[in-house]
Amino acid sequence: MPTERHRKIAQNSLLLKSFPQEIREMVLGKSSWREYDRGETLFLQGETAQAVHIVTDGWVKLYRIAPNGGEAVVNVFTKGESFGEAVAFRGQAYPVSAEAVTSCEVMRIPSVAILEAMRKDPDIAVTVLASTFAHLHSLVSQLEQLKAQTGPQRVAEFLLELCEQETGSCKVTLPYDKFLIAGRLGMKPESLSRSFARLKTVGVHVVRNVAEIDDIDRLRAFSEEDPVEAWHKS
- Give φ, ψ of 21 to 5 degrees: -55, -45
pTM: 0.78
Is 120 buried (19+), middle (13-18) or exposed (0-12) by CB count in 10 A? Answer: exposed
Fold assignment, 149-233: Arc Repressor Mutant, subunit A (1.10.10)
Q: Return d(Cα 138, Cα 23) in angstroms, integer.
A: 28
Q: pLDDT tens digit string along 157-172?
A: 999 989 989 999 999 9
Q: Which residue has the higher pLDDT, 195 or 87?
A: 195
Closest CA to 80 of 126, 42, 131, 24: 131
Tell me the CA distances in angstroms from 54 to 66, 216, 224, one per residue in order.
Answer: 26, 30, 32
Comma-separated ranges of CATH 1.10.10.10 domains in the chain: 149-233
| Coil vs helix vs strand at 176 | coil
Min mean pLDDT across 11-25, 111-125, 134-148, 177-191 is at: 134-148
Comma-separated ranges of CATH 2.60.120.10 domains in the chain: 4-146
Q: Which residue has the higher pLDDT, 137 or 121?
A: 121
Min mean pLDDT across 121-130, 172-181, 189-198 is at: 121-130
Task: Output the pLDDT for position 4.
Answer: 79
Q: Return d(Cα 166, Cα 170) in angstroms, integer.
A: 10
Task: Output the pLDDT for position 159.
Answer: 95
Indicate the CATH number for domain 4-146: 2.60.120.10
Closest CA to 43 of 123, 108, 119: 108
Min mean pLDDT across 43-47, 135-139, 190-194 is at: 135-139
β-pairing, 104-110 with 51-57? antiparallel
